[in-house]
Amino acid sequence: MRENNNLHFHGFLFAVGVSFFVAISAIILPASAIPAQSEGNGPAMFGVKEIVIRTPRFGDPKIARNCGLTPDDVLDTVRKSLQQNGIPATVESEAPPANVGLARIYLVPEVYSYNSQTLDCVSWISLWAESRNRLRIPPVDLFRTVTIVYWHQGILLEGGQSNHAGQVADGMKKLGGLFSDQFKNDQPPTPGYQ
């Protein structure tokens, strides 16, 4: 009887842990969708002229391959999604050198996949719009390199290995569309348009 009570207790702890994770996720994830905005200076991506898509980051490339995912496919999907939405973006390998005075941000696709030796895959996919800048940050009067995140969104996907690449492609298209909408909303109004 004691063993049975221990099993119920451990099951209860697991359920409480999962419930806690879901509750925290429900609080944190929507907050990550809030676009960055500096006080009194306008939207985060206001006046950005260049978007460079970086090579996707994979948590574990071997697991991603087992789930049918490749960096080239993810990069191509993001590029096409932005182009279909009228966003001028270039992949990093084709981008010209950065010009002083021309605002550039980097769009970074991320894929973290899990495969539990079954035919199912789970992936957290996300897009980050960021830049790296050298700033003087008090109290030490030295330059430091900091990463500034302008926008970030993600989606959790789960499905079979045979169709997971398609799910990830659809998810990246959706994220590309959300980024495109925010980017357009952050740009200055077109002259003569009211």
User: Residue 152, Cβ neighbours under 10 Å: how many?
Assistant: 19
Q: What is the CATH number of domain 33-186?
A: 3.40.50
Classify residue 56 by its DSSP letter.
P
pLDDT given for residue 20 in this prediction: 36
Q: How does pLDDT run across 33-66, given as a tens digit for each residue?
A: 444 444 556 788 988 989 999 999 999 999 999 9
Percent of all residues in the chain with a pLDDT value above 90, rounded to a whole number: 54
Q: How does pLDDT run across 116-131, given as a tens digit for each residue?
A: 777 799 999 999 999 9
The region of weakest confidence among 21-30, 111-120, 135-144, 155-164 is: 21-30
Which residues, in sequence order, are CB contacts of 51 under 8 Å at separation 6+? 82, 87, 88, 89, 90, 104, 105, 106, 107, 129, 183
- pLDDT surpassing 50 at residue 7: no
- 166-182: average pLDDT: 97
**CA neighbor of 114 nearest in space, from 60, 171, 172:** 60
Which residues, in sequence order, are CB contacts of 54 under 8 Å at separation 6+? 92, 106, 107, 108, 109
- 146-160: average pLDDT: 94
pLDDT given for residue 133 in this prediction: 85
**What are the boundaries of each domain within the chain?**
33-186
- pLDDT surpassing 90 at residue 179: yes
pLDDT given for residue 102 in this prediction: 85
- pLDDT surpassing 90 at residue 82: yes
Q: What are phi and psi of 133, to 5 degrees?
A: -135, 150
pLDDT given for residue 40 in this prediction: 52
- pLDDT surpassing 90 at residue 185: yes
pLDDT given for residue 28 in this prediction: 41
* Stretch (H or E) spanning 4: helix 2-32
